[in-house]
Structures are given as C-alpha cells and as structure tokens.
Structure 1
Amino acid sequence: MTKFYVPPKAKKLFPECRSVIDFLAIKGKVIKSSPRRCVLRVERGGQELFIKIHEGVGWREIFKNLFNLRLPIVSAQTEYTAIRRLEALGVATMPVVAWGVQGWNPARRRSFIVTRSLERTVDLEHGLSDVLNQALNPASLSRAARKRRLIHDVASLTHRLHAHGVNHRDFYLCHLRVDREGPTAMNGPFKLYVMDLHRAQLRRRTPRRWIVKDLSALLYSMLLNPSAVAFTRRDGLRFIRAYTNMPWSHAVAKDAALWCKVVSRTLHMLRRQPFGILDAERHALQWLNDLPLTGSAYCLGRQGDAYINASLRQSSGLRNLLRSPDEIMATGEVLKADSTTTVVRVEADMQQWVIKRYKWQGGWAACRLLFRSSRSQRAWCNAHRLMRSGVETPRPIAALDRRISWHHGASYFISEYVAGERCREYFEQPIHPMASQAVVVENLIGLFRRLGMARLSHGDMKDTNIILRNNRPVLLDLEALRHHRSDWVWRWRFGRDVRRFLGNRWCDPELVRYLSEQLLPYSTRKQ
C-alpha cells in the first residue's frame, strides 16, 4: 500500500523527492527523537518546515495497544486525517505541506508528514506569562482580563473538539500555541493552534473516558505550568462555565460525576510528582480541595485515596483520623468485629462518628478487587446515591483507601452515628402502640418504593441493616448496593431483597402477609 500526497507547491520545495523513500531520506536538524519516530526541521524556499517520520512500530507495540483496547498508531495518516478534521471545524493547526505512507505490513509501515512552522507563536506551557504581560497599546486589556479571555478561549476550543468527536490524548499546554501579540482586536479572542495530533482519535461522539483524559491532562498542566501563572479556584470555575456554556453551578449539578473523575485523575497524576506527598495547603492540591465539584463531596489525595465531606474539609479531628485511623479506632467503642470488618464508634470534634474498617483479604478476594473499586469507595458513592434518591442513610464523612502495591489494602468508611433502635428490636418489644407501628410499617414500604423508583438493590437487606430514627428507617451497610440498568436484573435483585427482609423470623405473620401484599407485586412491576 502506497499513498503519496505532494501538491504542486510542495514539489517546488522538494524537487528531488519523487517517492516516500526520498522524503524519508531527507536530512535536517533533529528536534525530537524516539525509537520509532523523529521530527526534523528543514528550511526550503525561505520557509521553516517540520518533517515527522514514522518508522515501523513492530508487532509488540500493536498487540500492546490492542490488549489495552486502543487502536495502534502505525503511520502518519492518523495525524493527516486529524488535521483535515480540525481545518473543517475551523480550528487552527499546522498546515500540511505533504505526506505519504508505504507498506502493507502494519508493523513495518513507514510514513512521513511535512507541516509548516507556526511562526510568531509560543506554546502556552512556557510562554504563558509573556502572552499575558504583552501590551500592544495603553488601551489594551489588563493582565487579569487577558487571562480570563485566554481561559475562555481554551475552554471553548476544548469543547468544540469534544463536541465533534475529536479527542487529543496528549492535551497538555505544551501542545497549544498562541500568537505572541495576543488578540488583534480589543475584545477579540486569542488565536490558538493545536499541535501533535498523531495520537488524536476521531469519532462521531467522543467517549466519556477520553473527555476525562483530555480535561485532566489540561488541568494537570495548568497547575504545574513553569510560567509561574497561578491557576486559581475562580479560574477553574470560569473554565467549567466556558466549557459547558452554562453557569458553573448548573454544570456541576448536572454532571458532577464528570468533574469528579477529572479531579480524581488529576490527583493521581500529581501524586507521581516528587512533591505529591506534601501537605495540600502548600501545593496546588489545595485548589482541587476547594473546587466545588459535587456540592457535598470533595476529593483529597492524602494517605492513599481519600474522599471527604465538603463541610468538614477544615476539621482537625477528621485530619487526625485520616492520618492514623487505627490509633483513633483503638480508643473507641467496638460495635462489631468479625473476620472481614470492624465497626467502632468514636468521638471527634464534639460529634459521634462510626468508622468501618474493611480488612485486607489476600488471594482470590484481592484479585477480584483489581478490576473494581474498594468497599469503602463503593459505600461512599452509594451513600450519596441514596441521599439523592431520598433514602435516609447516615451522612458520609470520609472514605480512605490504602493500597498494597497495585492491590487495594485496608479501607475505612466514616459516617455519622445514628442513634435509634434496630428494626428487629422495635417489633420484638410490645411497648410500642399500634399507631406507631403502623407508621413504621408505612415508612418501611416507602423505603422499598424509593429504592425501586431509583432502580437500586441493597444486596443484604437483613433486619440489622435498618435502624429506626423517629419511626423512619435509616439504611446501613451500603457496600453491596447496586444500581441496575437492566429491568429484569433489577426485578430479580429487588425481589431477593424483599424476600430477604420478609424472611426474618421476628416478623409477625400478619405483618409479613401485609408487607408481602404491598412489596412483592411492586418488585414484579416494570419500571
């Protein structure tokens, strides 16, 4: 297979090149080099050009990408197609001068692409401070206004790419360039250029995980840019507003999971840095803690993977607990202890909290957790899911997940302590009046109906996992709770929860009959 694109203007610049092999033999100044790819800079006809040469990637690289569910990059055709797509979208990029590919074997396919140099431009990673300080005349925008304008333009450009099925895969500030002079008009936009598109992916619709990858890479480079330009909390909110084209509060409320994943991935990238172990107040992680992603929960990269409640992020008691949870648990009251979990009630900041420690389990249990989140993380997410669904559950305080190599280690889920009676103890005691029991029964039916409306199944609906507070049920032990998209799977799981609850021996036969009439038909309805 041979593809060769050299327009007449390019033939005048390279009269000696009549084939792909001739272009691959051109000598120039090496700008970037890797085992399978190199970038050369040459001058032809008074123009500065860049030649990117792709050698055969080999079968090992191809199979590695396929194993990771990624299409391998075997030639320069990917970059050429991406440049043409960006030009059709009106996004400025490197103009193509010529390109070609030769070879049927994808492991040994050789190719090249020639692009023009972007003169009088600077990349945003190293030249951001110079661009913001540039002033053409006394009437030009101030530094703060230019910074806001640039954030808006970068966010709009990112949204345009993602909205039209383009994801960059290396979307760092070093791959964005801008004119040195800035906007040509007083309130005009910056002219941004997108570079290095050899890994770009083109689809009809950009998958969510690739949107998260691009946004987290951009946020990471903004926080660690060497230009000494601070990226503040307000700047982050401006970016969200410009990217979503709606007020940031509405954008966060509408798609909190997206921005939470972006911050979590950025934290994971920051922890690879030598200063990732420093205190958050001394580093840009403090900005991530202040960014209101979900309105109630914030991510914090300390002592492992931790998630804390927004209202308690300044709590000294919670910080001490996250720093040494085992020492704090040793001073509390043990509520439950078995081979897999330990539940302890402690006091911190004049409040009573419950710490549930999930012990590390080796063998097959550890292998299963390689491909799913830890039990504490599941309990944290399920607690917020229940609160959004109107189901009462103890307010989550924090979740801490420690790792042993790439395995999940011991994890901790911290929630508020709920004082009340167990459901079994309530019905076993004859001191409660019939009117109060009727209210409790109706509230229990309402609990199951709310779970059904949200298509949730608890997974362990036994009597000890329901506490009655002011005659209202509060649901505990949320690590097995699941949300179901399939209707028949949900009906099966939900029906199993109902039968598990009705199978408790403490229930009065008449009560069991009434609950069966109310709940079992509901579990067979199609939602």
Structure 2
Amino acid sequence: MNPSTIAATAHDAPLLDAAALAHAGRTPATPFRIRLADGSELRVLRLLRVLPGRRVVGEALTAAGEHRLAKLFIDHRAARNWQRERDGIAALAAAGIPTPALAAATALEHGGQVLLTEFLSGADTVLDHWRPLAARPPGDAEAVALLRPLFALLGRLHAAGLSHDDLHFGNFLCHADRLLLIDGDAVSAHGHGPLAEPRAARDLAMLLAQLPRTWDDHVAPLLAAYAETQPQPPGPSALAEALERERAWRLRDYLSKCGRDCTLFKVAKRFDRFSAVLRSEAAALAPLLAAPDRHIDTGIALKRGNTCTVAKVEIDGRPLVVKRYNRKSLRHALSRLWRPSRGWHSWREGHRLRLFGIPTPAPLALVEERWGPLRGRAWLVNEFCAGTDLLALLDPASEPPPPIAASLRTVFDTLHRERISHGDLKATNLLWDGASLQVIDLDAMQQHRSAASHARAWQRDRRRLLRNWPADSALYRWLDAELPH
C-alpha cells in the first residue's frame, strides 16, 4: 500500500498513547493516531524503526496535513532523550552540518514526547548504497567514492567541536545529491574549535570499524577526505589504539547479539529447544525451522556422515544448506551435553567472519535440542554457495588465476592478522564463486588470544592446505611463498 492510500485510511485508524505503543513491542500496527498535548492528532502512516518500549520512528501526517518524520519517545526517560535529540539537532544546524530540519517538539497526551522533522521523500541511507558494494574487493573505486563524503562530513563535525556517539552508515542519509547526518540524540558539543584528539580518534575509529577488516590497507583515501575538512586530525597512534578498542567492543557486542533476542536476531528459548534466526529471515524460514529433518530428508544430500548430515534444500525456490550435527554414540552424546554444540560454534564463527569481511555463506538460523542447560543435536541453516572448490578448480601445474590469487592473499592475510585458524583447511573447504573465495565448514574455527597458540594452529592449517597438491608443483610453490608464514 502506498503512502497516499495509507493516509486516506488513517482517519479511521485506532487512537493510541505512549503506554499502548510500549505494550505493542516490536510490531505496533499501522496506521494509528496519537494525540498531542495540545489536543491535535498525529497520524503515523508507517514505521521506519522501533526500539521496543522506548521509541517509535515513522512517517506521519500532522493535523494540518504536513508530511513529517515523527520520533515518539514513550518510556520513563522520554523527556531526557527527547531533549537530547532536540539539542543535538540544534547543534548540528548551528554548525552548518546538514540534517533534517526540526519542525516541532512537544509532549504527547498522557505522557511521552514527540519530535517532528522534515520528511525527506525518496531519501535512503549510505548503508543501502553500501550493501551491494560490500562484497567487492577492498578499495573498490565505487565504494571509495561512496564513502569519502562521509569522512569529509565527519571532519566538518569535528572541526565544529561536535562528536557523535553512534556513527554508522545507516545514520547518513542521501537525498537530492545531499549527504545528511541524523540521530541528534548522539550528538554532543565540546566547545569551539576542533575536537580534542582522544574523542576525534574515537569517532573516526567508530566509522572505520564499519568497514570489513579486509579494508585495512585501503583506507588512505578516506582518511585524506577527513583531513581535508578537519585541520587537526588524530595521530596514527591515537587512531590505531581507538580502532582496536572500537573493534573489540563491536565484535563482543555483535557476537552477543547472535544469541539473544534483539533487532537483528529473533531468538526463542524453551526447556527443550533453542532457536536463533536473522529477524529479516524469520518468516521465510519458519516452516524449515519447525521441521528441519523433514526438509533434509526431501532435499539433495551433500554429505551423510556419522557426525553430520548436510543437505541442499529449497524454500520458495531459494537454495539453502541445512547441516545437522549428529551424535555418533551414547558416549559421544554425553561428552557433548555440557558444551556448546558444533552448530552453535559454526553459527558464531560464521557471523565473526562476515563481520571481518571474510566471505562465507551467510548463517541464517540455528536450532538446538535442549534439556534445560544440556544440549543435544543441532541444525544450522546457511545460504547455499554454488562455487567450485579449489581442489577441483585449480591446476597444480600453474599459479592461480589473478582474481583467485588476489582473493587468496586477502582472505589469508586477514585470517592471519586476526589470529584466526580454520582447523580443517582442506582445499574442498574453500569455494570460488566467480567473485570471491568463500570459506566453509567452520566447526573447528577459532580466534586465538595467544600469539603462540595461533602460530601453532596456523602452521597446522598451512600444512593441511598445502598437502592437497604435490610439493614439486607450481601451485604448491606459489601458495608456500604467498601465504603468511
């Protein structure tokens, strides 16, 4: 239904208040009406973002028929957060940083606050533009052209003495050839003149951390764009320390989210069952998650082993891979009861690799049998990768073709730098999909805290990969020379 049709039907929409919106959780039904403190009504046509019980953001019409973006603050901290948002927008406007103009800020009837800004029809975020470019090689010219203006705008923000506590690609809007910064709630003023180095380094690191780690050697153009508008950029040492802290926090935060119910993941826990699924995939995968074995039995078998069964299945014409982690024997089952399942381990490591920018088929869902704290079988659902494994693809008598060689270097340099070992690095666990090298079978993958532990595991990985080809072959010699020692 288009916005004009929604607007036409919104006159008969239910009248809600802050308490009703908080009770509705993640899915308030739209359209709805909400009454302001002056007695006028705001009609919310569709939702753009919901923080359950805290905030609702949506496209709205005022009583005068004006099109607005509405932020409804509905929890016990509504007044404070509303004031912070209002102050942040004012600070951005005073500094000349493009942001949607504030139209109104007032209270709701029966508690809560609302803030209205201009509605930018047709606007999208930098994240929307980044997603189709994310899989391209690091330093891709189109991706750099997209990102340079973000860093230049951040430089302008810092030159004005402002900081932003939530810098990510989704908080930059593209509209009518303009780039705008949003989320005034995260903006703080720190006096006149350029921002002090520690805080500037923190903000800059926050934005850099949105990039895959495969980009580490390709950020010079982005830093140059920042320095063009910020006369006092943070030094390399301060930036490196801030980036390390930001990445460590971001990794912990993201990996914790994949096991709890949140905006990104839908998680359900019962005494006898645990399930986690990307929230965007929950509806489509519901039939599969309800009966994974039935889909395995009717799918195309890829592997039938004692410890795991793998099948290719189709859901609404979309190919997926389901991997069931079996129990070989009673003794094996008892030994695994208290430990996280191999399915859980693969689920986490898949999300770790993708956060780092290392290609791997997207992990979509996980189901585990449970008996309270004890764990049984597990089912992992991944995107299907139609690539060819390196053992079948590469000719031992010659070096890899340039695209595959470049991808091999990028993947293994990143794995090595991040102290990640695979644990079973056979050539059949590396797939070339025509554009990137996909790493699969993550059951034994590990990110090491100790350099010594990683060095030992890395040498085992290296030897296992090289063992796929004769030691006197051109391919073996190339890999031995190019892979990190």
Q: TM-score, normalised by structure 1?
A: 0.44
Q: TM-score, normalised by structure 2?
A: 0.48
